[in-house]
């Protein structure tokens, strides 16, 4: 059972967090008519989860719990590379699902979606590096004044990226 904790934290946590976000915004996105009991007025793109929402919100929640058990099981039981690929695919899938809700709910939807994708990338990057213990084959190092210059350039370039894709402004 060695490595199970690392695989849980590194490869299961990112898709699990994005799945919970996706499920939460899906429930929050249902209309007042839906919450008044007209379950046929569901708003959901996934055929499976659309069907479960038509039955009852609790059927949807049960389906989400079952789905998380399925993808966690696949990630824990699969060989390394397959587990990594599946973790990334499920994380991307739920990030895309949540993004579709964000596009219609926020004034600065473009920036919100880009922020969500950045958070997804951070979760996957940290999960792969620290939870899964992946390391580069060769170290990429700077020292002395080059190290300070490197971080100054990183900060400046990152600020430009934030301005271009995360900072709200009118077109």
| pLDDT tens digits for range 55-69 | 999 999 999 999 999
- The pLDDT of 100-128, averaged and rounded, is 91
- The pLDDT of 118-128, averaged and rounded, is 95
- Model-level pTM? 0.87
**pLDDT higher than 60, residue 75:** yes
Q: Which residue has the tokens 């940290």?
A: 126
- Alpha carbon 25 to chain centroid distance? 13
**Extended beta strands in 58-169, E state:** none
**Residue 34, both tokens:** 């839906």
Residue of 83 and 151 predicted with greater confidence: 83
**pLDDT higher than 90, residue 101:** yes
Q: Residue 126: which of 14, 19, 5 has the closest Cα?
A: 14
Q: Residue 86: which of 138, 127, 119 has the closest Cα?
A: 127
Instruction: Provide Rg for the chain, Cα atoms.
Output: 20
Q: Are 11 and 89 in contact (CB under 8 A)?
A: no
In whole angstroms, what is the distance from residue 37 CA to residue 51 CA? 15
């Amino acid at each position: 059972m060695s490595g199970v904790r690392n695989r849980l934290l590194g490869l299961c946590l990112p898709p699990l967090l994005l799945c919970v976000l996706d499920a939460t915004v899906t429930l929050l996105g249902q209309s007042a008519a839906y919450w008044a009991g007209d379950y046929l007025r569901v708003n959901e793109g996934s055929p499976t989860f659309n069907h479960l929402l038509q039955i009852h919100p609790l059927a949807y929640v049960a389906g989400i719990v079952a789905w998380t058990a399925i993808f966690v099981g696949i990630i824990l039981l699969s060989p390394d590379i397959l587990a990594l690929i599946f973790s990334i695919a499920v994380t991307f899938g739920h990030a895309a699902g949540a993004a579709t809700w964000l596009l219609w709910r926020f004034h600065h939807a473009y920036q919100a979606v880009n922020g969500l994708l950045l958070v997804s990338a951070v979760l996957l990057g940290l999960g792969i590096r620290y939870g899964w213990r992946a390391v580069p084959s060769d170290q990429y190092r700077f020292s002395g004044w080059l190290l300070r210059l490197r971080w100054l350039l990183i900060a400046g370039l990152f600020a430009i990226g934030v301005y271009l894709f995360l900072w709200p402004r009118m077109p």
